[in-house]
Amino acid sequence: MKKIIVPVDFSEFSEYALEAASFLARKNNAEILALHMLEISTAVINKADNIKQLESLFFLKLAEKKFKEFLNKDYLKDIKVTPIVKHFKVFSEVNEVAKENQADLIVMGSQGASGIKEVLVGSNTEKVVRHSDIPVLVIKHNPILMEFENMVFACDFTEEAVQQYLRAKEMAKKLDSKMHLVYVNMPGTKFRSSAEIEKQVATFLRKADGGIEKMNEVNYVNDYSIEEGILNFSNVIGADVIAVATHGRKGVAHFFEGSISEDIANHSTLPVMTFKI
């Protein structure tokens, strides 16, 4: 892990993310790219009116000063921190910054959401999760301890999740985490018999690992929803972080089908790491 991106909006939650990233950066000798996105419209920036241009310049300089002060933290001492300021608040741009800088991880703070606000508005974190091609670590609380001894990786063990499993496995190694594999079985049309699940898992592991040595390490959980199954299992084993694959659904597909990873990122009190399929 060489580069970690932390989107900063000056909130206490982005400070949680920044502090969490400092633990990971120090452990992996990585650089932190602190990204702040201004909300200055194109119309204001391109306005011919000199007063408007001076106004936008003033707000830009003010934000840069505030950004510099925000990054003046004791826990960032001896860590390389590179500030990046973008003029527009476009969340897909976080992924572009990650690509340009060959970043390994995005760390974001989130207070979560629920109810109608979650459906109609969503959080900034959700928007980044949907667009990001690299793993996103969502932090909910002040990171007093950032030792990820136990990582839960929830998976449906379909072929399309192989790459995400391998990436999660690699990330667990970097974090010195023990990875607990979980399959959640539900009642109704999505119910699978034990034989069906084991056959699917065996096929998956042969493709991903070249063998079925990890068959005995897969945990089968029965619950009323995938989200409940993952969260309940994580609580039982005392997990430190939950890792899930996400389809990164957008627009109409996201509205009607939802995203398990985004639901977990919203509702879990544990840090959640997402890997886009």
How confident is the model at residue 17, as a pLDDT?
Answer: 93
Domain end residue (candidates: 114, 143, 172): 143
pLDDT band, residue 66 (cuts 50/70/90): confident
The chain-wide mean pLDDT, for the chain, equals 83
260: pLDDT strictly greater than 50: yes
57: pLDDT strictly greater than 80: no
255: pLDDT strictly greater than 50: no
37: pLDDT strictly greater than 90: no
Could you give the count of Cα atoms lying within 13 Å of 130 in the half-sphere of its Cβ?
Answer: 19
Do 137 and 151 fall within a single domain? no
Mean local confidence (pLDDT), 219-247: 91
Do 164 and 256 fall within a single domain? yes
Number of domains composing the chain:
2
Give the tens place of pLDDT for each residue, 236-253.
999 999 998 876 655 433
Domain end residue (candidates: 116, 143, 170): 143
Do 118 and 156 fall within a single domain? no
Domain end residue (candidates: 109, 125, 143): 143
Do 139 and 166 fall within a single domain? no
Distance CA 147, CA 139 (A): 13
Residue 244's nearest CA partner among 150, 170, 181 is 181
Do 95 and 152 fall within a single domain? no
Distance CA 87, CA 90 (A): 9
How confident is the model at residue 167, as a pLDDT?
Answer: 93
Give the tens place of pLDDT for each residue, 126-142.
778 878 899 999 998 88
Could you give the count of Cα atoms lying within 13 Å of 274 in the half-sphere of its Cβ?
Answer: 30
pLDDT band, residue 277 (cuts 50/70/90): confident
Mean local confidence (pLDDT), 11-16: 90
225: pLDDT strictly greater than 60: yes
How confident is the model at residue 122, as a pLDDT?
Answer: 47
56: pLDDT strictly greater than 50: yes
113: pLDDT strictly greater than 60: no
Domain of 51?
1-143
Do 16 and 103 fall within a single domain? yes
Mean local confidence (pLDDT), 192-209: 95
Do 22 and 51 fall within a single domain? yes
Distance CA 222, CA 197 (A): 12
Task: Tell me which amino acid residue 102 is.
Answer: Q
- Pick the most confident of 34-43, 73-82, 185-194, 238-247: 73-82
Least confident of 132-136, 209-213, 251-255, 268-272: 251-255
Q: What pTM value is reported for the model?
A: 0.83
Whole-number Cα distances in Å, 121 to 17, 58, 125, 136: 22, 30, 11, 20
266: pLDDT strictly greater than 60: yes
Give the tens place of pLDDT for each residue, 141-185.
888 767 899 999 988 898 888 999 999 999 999 888 999 999 999
